[in-house]
Structure 1
Amino acid sequence: MAKDPYTVLGVHKSADQDTIRKAYRALAKQHHPDRNPGDNSAEDKFKAASAAFEIIGDKDKRARYDRGEIDADGNERAFAGRSYGSGPGAGGDGFRAGAYGQPGGGQSRTYRSTGGGGFEDISDIFSEMFGGAAARGSASQQGRDVRYRMEVDFLEAARGNRKRVTMPDGRTLDINIPEGLRDGQSLRLRGQGEPGMNGGEPGDVYVDISVKPHRFFRLEGDTVTLEVPVTLSEAVLGGKITIPTVHGEVSIAVPRGASSGTALRLRGKGLKNAKTGTHGDQIARLRIVLPDKPDEALEEFARTWDGDREDDPRSRLKL
C-alpha cells in the first residue's frame, strides 16, 4: 500500500489546496525521470508524488481519504465502470491502474496514476519544463497519449459488450468491447487522450485488456474447452444433456458407452477470430462422476458385472 499522501508531499493535513499543489509541483520537477535519467530512486519518488497528488490534490478524493472511505492507493469498492449491453457478466471493474505519458514525437515513459485531476497538473509541469521553446515559436504539439489497464469478465470479452467507465479526469467514456477480445490485447480510443498544445491534436487513450479467468471455461486459441460431468448411467446408456457454451446453452448427445475423457466437438461455439471473422469450436470433455453417497445396489452390480469382464483396461500400460 502507498504511504500517506500528506507525508509523501511533506504537507500538514490542514494544508490548503494551493499549498498541496505547490508541494507536488516542486517534487515532480525535482524528481522527474527526464531530469534524472537512469535514477530509479528519483523515478520512484516522482511516481509516489504523482500518486499522492492524485488523492489529496482533488478536493473530493481528499475528503473521502480523510473520512477513510478510500486508501492511499485510491482503492475503493465503489470505484467501478458501469457496463451495459448484451451478455451477462457485464458489470465491470473500470480502469484499474496506470497512465503512460507520451508527448507527440517524444519518448514514451511509464507513470502510475490512480485517478483524479493530476494529469492536467503533470501536463502543466511538462509544459514548464520542456515546452518553453515550442511555446515561444508557437509550434503545435500533439497531446500526450494515456494508457490504462481494464479488467473484463471472460464472457464479456467472449461475447462483446459496451462498457461505460470513468476516466481519472472525471470524463465518462463508452468503450466498445469487440466480440472475441483476448487477454493482453489493447483498444485504441482516438482523440481521447490529453489535449494538444498550441492547436495540436489531442492524444489517444490506449486500454490494455486483462480478461478474468472463467470458473469452468478454458481457452486454447479460438477453442473453448469445458469439462462436463456425466452420471454412470448417462455414460453407459447415452442420451441428451444440456451444457453451457459462451453463446448460451445447447443440447448434445452423449454416445453409449462413453468414457471419461471422451471429447465431443461443438463446431462454431468457440471464440470469434478477429482476423478471419470465423468462430472456433467448443470441446466438451466428458467426466464420469459416481454418487456422493455409497449405493449398495450399484456396488452389488459392479461386483457381478466386473466378474464377467475379460478385457484389461490397463493392458496398454505394460512396457
Structure 2
Amino acid sequence: MADKRDYYEVLGIKKGATEAEIKSAFRKKAMEFHPDRNPGDKIAEEKFKEVNEAYGILSDPQKKDKYDRFGFAGVDPNAGFGGGGSGGFSGFGGFEDIFGDLFGGAFGGGFSQSRRNGPRKGQDLQKQMNITFEEAAFGTKKQVQLNKYVACEECGGSGAEKGTSKVTCPNCNGSGQVRTVQNTPFGQFASSHTCDRCGGSGQITEKPCHSCNGSGKIRKTVTISVDIPAGVDNDSVIPIRGQGEPGTNGGPNGDLYLVIAVSPHKLFKRKGNDLWLDMPITFTQAALGAEITVPTLSDKVAYKIPAGTQPDTVFRLKGKGVKSLRSGKYGDLYVKVILEVPTKLSGKQKKMIEEFGESLNHDGYAKRKSFSETMKELFK
C-alpha cells in the first residue's frame, strides 16, 4: 500500500474531522469525479475510486479508528487487522444512501442494491459548439452532429433476439450482486461486488440480438437541430434533454450539454450584457465637437460629441448592448473615444500647427496650466 495517498488527503480534510465534515467532503469530491460527469476520463475514474475507498474507511467508526492508529495496515485484510479498503462497502449504511442522494436523479446513478437492476438513466454527453459573436447576441439555429450510442432498432433496446426475452441471472438470482464473506481474527466481514455474469443488471440474454450483440444499443452518427437563444456567452451551457445515450433497464435517455464558445468580434468587446467600442476621432473633432457615426451590432447611429472632448472619454448608448438571457432586457453600448494624433504631415501643415499652438494661451489647456503651477510650487 506504499503507493496509496493518505485517506484524509484524498478527501481534502484534516485528521480528526467530524462525521459531518467527512460526509460533506465526500459529497464534493464524488460529484467532481463522478464518471457521468467525466465520460471517458480515466484519471477522473481512478480518482472517483480513490474517493470511494477513502470514504469507505473514514465513514466507518471502527475502520477509521484502526486507520488512525495503524495506518493502511489497520484496514488491510492481508495484514491481519480485518476490514478491507476497497472490497465492497456493505460494512456501513451511509455510503449507499449518499450516492442515492447525489446521483440517483440528475446523473442516473442509483447505487443501492435495490436499484442496481432497476431503470437507470443513460449517460449524459457534452459537446462544444462554436458560434459567431452575432449569433451569440441575436440567437440562431444550428445543426449538431453527434457520434453516440442509440437504442438498437432491431431489438428495440432489449438486447435480446426478436421472439426471445431476458431471464434471471443464475449467478446472483436477479440481485445483480454477489456477496462474499471473509473470516478474520476479528470476525466475519461481508462484502459484495457486481455480478460478473450479468454486469449488475440481474438478467442475462440467452439469445443476444445479432445486430447489437446483446448490448441493446449501437453507435451511430445523428444530427439534431438546436435553438441557440439570444444572449448566450462563452461557457454558457445549453441542456438538450433526452439527447444523451440510452438508459438501461427501461431508464430514460441521458441529456446533451452544449458548451458555447463565442468567436471574438473585430470591433466590439463584451462585458456581461454590455458592449464596449474603442472609436478613433481626430483632434479637430475633439476640439470643435462633431457628429460621428457609431456602429452597433444591428445598425449605425449618429452621435454628437461636444466641443473639448478629452481623450478616453466614454459615452453610453442605452439599449444597444446584448439581450439578457434571464430578464430579456438589453445592455448598453459604451463608446470610448480614442484621440488619434496625425503622423504624416507636410511642411505647410507643420507650420500651421506651430502657428496654431503659439496662438493659444494657458487658458486653452486647463490641465496643463494646473500641472505647470503645481510643478512651480514643488521646485521653488
| Cα pair 2:110 2:120 within 8 Å, conserved | no
Q: What secondary structure sits across from 2:281 in the alignment?
A: strand
Q: What is the CA–CA distance in structure 2 between the aligned matches of 1:299 and 1:269, rounded to whole Å?
A: 40
Deviation string 1:267-304 (CA, Å, 9 cap, x unpaired) is: 10011122222111101111121334224343223212
Check the 8 A contact 2:269/2:276 in 1, yes or no. yes
Distance in structure 1 (CA, Å) of the matches to 2:337 and 2:47:
61
The answer to which structure, 1 or 2, has the higher relative contact order (CA under 8 A, 6+ apart) is 2
Choose from 137, 140, 151 the match for 1:161. Answer: 140
User: Does residue 37 in structure 1 map to residue 41 in structure 2?
Assistant: no
Match of 1:274 among 321, 325, 328: 325
**For residue 259 of structure 2, what is the aligned residue in structure 1?**
208
1:31 to 1:303, Cα distance in 2 relative to 1, 3 A: closer
Structure 2 match to 1:12? none
- The answer as to whether partners of 2:142 and 2:227 remain within 8 angstroms in 1 is yes
**Match of residue 255 from structure 1:** 306
Structure 1 residues 166 and 140, CA gap change in structure 2 (3 angstroms): same
8 A Cα contact 1:159 1:247, kept in partner: no
TM-score, normalization by structure 1: 0.56
Q: Secondary structure at the match of 2:49?
A: coil
2:296 matches 1:242? no
2:283 matched to 1:232?
Answer: yes
Superposition RMSD in Å: 3.2
Percent identity at matched positions?
32
Q: Which residue of 2 aligns with 1:105?
A: 109
| Pairwise CA distance, 1:238 | 2.5
Paired AA for residue 108 in structure 2 = G
The aligned runs of 1:62-211 (5 Å cut-off) are 104-105=108-109, 134=116, 137=117, 139-169=118-148, 170-211=221-262
SS in 2 for 1:157: helix
| Residue 175 of structure 1, CA deviation | 1.8
Cα 1:149–1:38 shift into 2, 3 Å = farther
Q: Distance in 1 between matches of 2:119 and 2:110?
A: 14
Contact kept? 1:162, 1:174, Cα under 8 Å: yes
Provide structure 2 residue ranges, at least 5 long, that are not aligned to the other structure.
1-39, 52-105, 149-220
Q: CA deviation at 1:159?
A: 1.8
Alpha-carbon spacing, 1:289–1:35, altered in 2? closer, same or farther (3 Å): closer
- CA-to-aligned-CA distance 1:183-206 (integer Å, 9 cap, x gap): 222000011111112221111101
CA shift at 1:316, angstroms?
A: 5.2
Distance 1:204 1:294, change over 3 A: same
Structure of larger gyration radius: 2
Q: 1:309 aligned to 2:361?
A: yes
TM-score norm. by structure 2 comes to 0.47
Residue-by-residue CA offset, 1:116-137 (whole Å, 9 max, x unaligned): xxxxxxxxxxxxxxx9x94xx5
Output one character per residue of 1:147-174: Cα deviation in whole Å (capped at 9) or x when no partner.
1222222222112111212112421122
Call closer, same or farther: CA 1:35–1:302 in 2, change over 3 Å.
closer
Decide whether aligned partners of structure 1 residues 256 and 32 sit closer, same or farther in structure 2, where only a CA change above 3 A counts: closer
Aligned residue type for 2:278: E
Aligned to 2:268: 217
Count of aligned pairs:
204
Distance change (3 Å), C-alpha of 1:230 and 1:35: closer
CA distance in 2, matches of 1:32, 1:283: 43
The amino acid across from 1:199 in the alignment is G
Structure 1: gaps of 5 or more residues: 1-27, 40-101, 108-130
Distance in 2 (CA, whole Å) between partners of 1:156 and 1:36 is: 38
Conserved in 1, the CA contact under 8 Å of 2:120 and 2:250?
yes
* 1:282-297 equivalent positions in 2, closer than 5 A: 282-297=333-348
CA contact (8 A) 1:227 1:286 kept: yes
Contact between 1:225 and 1:283, CA under 8 Å: does it hold in 2? yes
